[in-house]
A = this chain, B = another copy of it.
């Protein structure tokens, strides 16, 4: 089942055009990713910093469909999928909540699992596999 994250657009997300600065959609989706990991019992303090296995983003894609402005309520729907044995991809849909909700952006990130010591690719640890299983389509 996809993970759903709710968020309000903040003044700091915006730029002088009055709308969310396009790189910040990736930042907002990463927040949803962090929240989904925390909910699965993964310790964020070490996951992104000192883990023996790290899972950096290798690729990202985004389609910006509608502008978002300060105060807008949004949802981010996150759906991960296993890629091989040592990576995963995440699809994100950002909706502007309203009557009706409207799709504002679609994003996609790819991640590879790497040993932080040897820098070689390695299998996903069991806690990430459990997180994947929980939220895969």
Contacts and interface: CB of A to CB of B under 8 A. Distances in A.
Interface in A44-102: 44-45, 48-49, 54, 56-64, 67, 69-72
A4 B56 CA distance: 27
Given A11-B30, A23-B27, A27-B23, A17 B54 contact: yes
A48 B12 contact: no
Sorting the interface of chain A by its residue count into under 10, 10 to 19, 20 to 34 or 35 or more gives 35 or more
Interface secondary structure of A, over-half rule: mixed
Number of copies: 4
Contact of A16 (B19, B35, B43): B19
A127 B64 CA distance: 25
Given A11-B15, A12-B31, A60-B64, 10 more contacts: A10-B30, A11-B21, A12-B15, A12-B27, A15-B16, A16-B16, A16-B18, A16-B70, A17-B48, A59-B61
Interface of A: 8, 10-12, 14-19, 21-24, 26-27, 30-31, 34-35, 38, 43-45, 48-49, 54, 56-64, 67, 69-72
